Structure 1
């Protein structure tokens, strides 16, 4: 695999930003690493960080490079600060950046596939929310979305992050039934009759977000969305996420290698 620490300018944010990028490389002389690649441009996973982290965290806390190498998939890991992947009421337009600008720029820099069936998104905690938001809001762009211990019910969590949410949303009482509400997005997706992305959701049973995740799972199932849900005894911690990101990579609808 090739690992790239990429720095570039974002027009949406009006500032220099960073992302970490992993690209497949087949290297027969590498010791102890199974490496694969598809022909042509690479299937791509956009992998999102949580509230207290940045674009470096997946490389620092997991073996994502080794896991991705086994599957021949590129991984894009951007930084969005504490934005909840939203266009902030008092701050930059992070939703515009992550949903519109970043995919276009990443594909201009690197040989990444553009086809829906070769693009996926995943994340943990705040990033799990961002991954579901992208998959539900843009089902024509992503074939799959995965949330690991996601903050999937931000209406319920509005008072947990009062300073952040005031900057992000302004009046937190207005979040419900808007495109920032995953329950609303799930309902809108079903009503639109568009092709649905595959959805994966997991959460530890001792996680403080467990009840939120059960509520979102049950809502998706009631709406007729096909969602794979898994739980086990775990808290909100990296040992669990390191295991589950391997599961996500196995679950993704990757094409068959030649």
Structure 2
């Protein structure tokens, strides 16, 4: 959220205005896109998560029988006992954003119904809607793979409030 825009603006004539800046990602990048938008709502007008890993990773680790996965989550997030309510918890970040008096980015979330992250996406959708966040949600046949994302990114691009040049 800090370094990349500065570097990109040094190479390209990019706007720094909020209404011209968006963030999107797929899978773990979808989690990251929402995390960035929730933590920096004054920088991003919109965010999109395609098959995002929108979950409580501490709960994921507690339910896992895979020590390597738990070790990886601990390496990424630190002590998982401190995950809930932290700046890595997209559920808590969404709640903070909904309570804030500042700008709220438009959100686009999509996930295939055969994706292993589908249940997580349905759960996050319900959370965002209960908070009254401006969410566009799309689901349909598809797995966690490029064929699905190639189709869905077209929807995201059509949804973005792109300025006409």
Equivalent residues in 2 for 1:1-258, closer than 5 Å? 99-155=1-57, 156-158=59-61, 159=64, 161-257=69-165
Kindly state the Cα deviation for residue 170 of structure 1 after the two structures are TM-superposed. Answer: 2.2
Kindly state the Cα deviation for residue 173 of structure 1 after the two structures are TM-superposed. Answer: 2.2
What secondary structure sits across from 2:19 in the alignment? Answer: helix
Write out per-residue CA displacement over residues 215-257 of structure 1, whole angstroms, 9 at most, x where no aligned residue: 1110011011010001001111110001111111111011233
Q: Runs of 5+ in structure 1 lacking a partner? A: 1-98
What secondary structure sits across from 1:157 in the alignment? Answer: helix
More helix by share: 2
* RMSD (CA atoms): 1.3
- Aligned partners of 2:15, 2:56: CA distance in 1, in Å? 32
Residue matched to 1:62: none
Q: Runs of 5+ in structure 2 lacking a partner? A: none
Q: Is the 8 A contact 2:77 2:88 kept in 1?
A: no
Q: Between the two structures, name the one with larger relative contact order (CA 8 Å, sep ≥ 6).
A: 2
More strand by share: 1
- Aligned partners of 1:113, 1:231: CA distance in 2, in Å? 32
- Aligned partners of 1:184, 1:237: CA distance in 2, in Å? 28
Residue matched to 1:16: none
Q: Is the 8 A contact 2:24 2:30 kept in 1?
A: yes
